[in-house]
Each structure stands twice: as structure tokens, then as C-alpha cells.
Structure 1
């Protein structure tokens, strides 16, 4: 039963369904939840400015941002604070974030408002559609996938986002020399990522073969990550660049 006192999602927020029309195994569970009142108001005020939709079709990043700058894509930005931190620290760069969960979109929009950031745009749809339908080839300088759902049960490993076919689709959106940056706090998933990336055509490790990377200074440490480190949990970063 719906609580009439709960803030409702803006009607426009659900018009562009996050679910892809592509066939295949979905790598996420859609847990929309409720937007807080602050997230809802930020969405209503700022989605027209920062939001990108299916109706926009194939974008020209230079036209979207009004300049020619280094372009980053973050897939699954969660509640958006890390993406806002990166965008604030690098105003000379542009960032596109993809997140299917509306509360996270609302939270990021509030961050962008509070910080007065102009170099971020957001998709609230499946990343597969963004990659396949809306980004030109070789337009990205960096793709970031931080702490994706590990699907830790062996029977669910097929749902993991980082798979050979997905990586090859990302490759075509990166310019030659562009970076694919992955991070996870699940050791088993890190091993899976390393295996996939090491065998992927057109990619090479920025480190020695089979070695993980130190955390780059420009990847913010999340509160979740800090808690994990305090409990002795590891974090593994992989940085591979497109060779051809």
C-alpha cells in the first residue's frame, strides 16, 4: 500500500524507462525505492539542465557541453558523490554519468546544484543503451566502472557486468589510448576482471601483465570503501588502455 506522505517520483523521471530493450542477462536489479524530498526537488529543478534521454538520440559531446574537452563516462555512479568530487576537481574535463536508480540521480543533481558544477550530464537508463545507441565511437577518453554488483554467488557470475562482450563494446567508444578503469572490493570479482581484461583484444594493462594498479589519486575514496578498509577489506583497481 502506498504511503501518501512519501514524496513521489516526478512524472518525467519515469517516462524514460531505465530498462533496456536489448536482449540478454541484466547485470543489475532495479531497486528504485523512494526519492527523498530534497532529491525530488533537485530532480524537478535540474533534470532539464543535466539530463540526457533516449529522445536526444546519438549525441555530439562537443555540442552537449559546448566545448571540446576530455570526456569521461562513469557507469553506475550510485549516489553520485564520487562523480561530483571528480567533476569538481577537474573542471577542465567533462563527465557523463549513468545510473538506473532514481534516488542516486536525485542525489547527484543536488550535489551538482550545491557545487555549481556545469561539466556533468546524466543518463537514467541502462548503460547498454547508452553505449550502443547514444555515444559516438571513439568519443571517450576514460570509462569508469567502480564497485559494480559482484554477484558473488557462482550461479550468478553470468550477471556480472564485466564480460568479454561488454568490454569490447566499451572499447569501440574509447579513443585509442583511452583508459578503462575498473575497481572492486571483491577479490573473486577482481580476479574475474583481470582475466577478462587480460584476454580482451585491443587492450593492454597500464601495469605489468596480470598486475593491479595502485588507486589513482583522482579516484575518490568512498565512505563505504573507508569502512571496508577499516575492517581489513581489500580494494583492487585495474587500468587498461585501448591499443587499437
Structure 2
């Protein structure tokens, strides 16, 4: 009898705040979504990356690409790998598609929606070269900490999706979340820390406008890089 799919507790890890699209956002969606957008829903099975990107190459998953500043810059600097960005806010997706078009990127696809069902149902085990989680929603109130995306159950899922040697790279400007990330990642037996505690910011991760605002407000930036055993 085949093994049953694990049952996951689905709690939203993002606080959806519907903003109003500007005309440029609507225009970008109409023009660029057919080029960059990924249409996928739970129950549709695992993605075929070779078909999605039109080639066979290592794939990076970025969860929460925001306005796409980091995703576009890193995709441009690393064209030998393909980038699947996940974001819920249409304004951020529109900005990312505009940035991708300006840079002439062909190695980017975007999924609009909750990352967790995609992790559970849409990706093959060992199919990812890297997972990036940059400045996720911190859910600062203690009673909401269960909504943080970096927690044991989700990290175990992410580890299974990485190839051996693949990297899970997280960054946050919230000190207590950084400590929780470090504890959770260290406790996952499939992952090993590439540093002694927090990692220095790698040159490949650009400093974004969002990050500069955090620094200006007096917050430290914490990077964590863990490798799949």
C-alpha cells in the first residue's frame, strides 16, 4: 500500500493587506504575466521545471519576493540558474515583472499565492538548488509566532526539497525572529550551518531599499545560511 501524503496544518504565514493597483501595475500584469506568470493550483501535481523554464538548469526558489528588487538583481547576476519567485501581492509582482523585462530576464517565473501548498504539493523532493526567505513577515506578537514561516515543520519540508548540498538562505532585521530562525534551523538534522551562528551577508544578496530602511531605524540585519546534508 503506497505511503499516504503527510497531513499539514495550514496556517497563513503572511498578513494579506490588499492594496490598490496603480495603472502601471495593471498594465504590467496584462502585458507581462503571460511571459513570467506560473498558473498552478493545489491538486495539479508537481511542476516540471524543464517545461516551465524551457531548459534544464538548477532552480532557486524565493519565498516572498516583495517588490522584486533583490530577485531581479540576483536573477540577472546568476543567469545559469532559474528563479521561481513566490509572492502574494500583485503590486510587488508587477514591479518584479517590470524589473525583469528591463533586465531582459528569461530565467524567472512567478507564482502568485501562498507558498506552503506549493512546497507541499508542487515541487519534487531534491529539485531545488537553493531556497531564499528574505525578510519574511515577522508576526511580532508572541501569540502569532506560530504563523512565522521559519518553524520546524516548514523547515523540514524545505530541507526535503533541496538537493544534497543545496542552501537555505534566510535574512531578517527582527532580532528575536533571527534567534528563533537559528534555533529552528540548527535543530533540523537534515541541515548544517555554513557559519558559526549567523552568517555574514553574502555579496550576491543585494542591499535593498527595504533593508536600508531597517538599518536607518537602528535594526541589525541577520543572515543565516544552512546547507542540506
Q: Which of 66, 90, 103 does residue 91 from structure 2 map onto?
A: 103
Distance 1:231 1:150 in 2: 16
With normalisation by structure 1, the TM-score equals 0.86
Task: State the 1:33 CA deviation.
Answer: 1.1
Within-5 A mapping of 1:162-177: 162-177=150-165
Q: CA deviation at 1:165?
A: 0.2
1:230 CA drift (Å):
3.1
The range that moved more, 24-33 or 71-80, is 24-33
Determine if the alignment matches structure 1 residue 242 to structure 2 residue 228.
yes
**Contact 1:39–1:109 (Cα < 8 Å) also in 2:** no
Q: Secondary structure at the match of 1:138?
A: coil
Match of 1:212 in 2: 198
In the alignment, the residues of structure 2 paired with residue 218 and residue 150 of structure 1 have an alpha-carbon distance, to the nearest angstrom, of 23
Tell me what 1:54 maps to.
Answer: 40
Q: Distance in 2 between matches of 1:41 and 1:104?
A: 13
Rounded Cα–Cα distance in structure 1 between residues aligned with 2:26 and 2:101: 13
2:26 match: 40
Structure 1: state its 5+ residue gaps.
1-21
Runs of 4+ in 1 over 6 A off after TM superposition: none
1:83 to 46, 68, 71: 71
CA distance in 2, matches of 1:90, 1:212: 24
- Say whether 1:30 aligns with 2:19: no
C-alpha distance in 2, partners of 1:238/1:112? Answer: 26
In the TM superposition, residue 109 of structure 1 has moved relative to its aligned partner by 1.2
Unaligned residue ranges in structure 2 (runs of 5+): 1-7
* CA shift in 2, pair 1:23/1:204, >3 Å: closer
Tell me how many residue pairs correspond in the alignment.
Answer: 220
| Correspondence 1:227 to 2:213 | yes
Judge which range, 191-200 or 104-113, deviates more: 104-113
d(CA) in 1 for partners of 2:128, 2:36:
18
Deviates more, 1:49-58 or 1:105-114: 49-58
Root mean square deviation of aligned Cα: 1.4
CA distance in 2, matches of 1:92, 1:78: 23
Say whether residues 1:65 and 2:53 are aligned partners: yes
Measured after TM superposition, the shift of residue 23 of structure 1 is 4.7
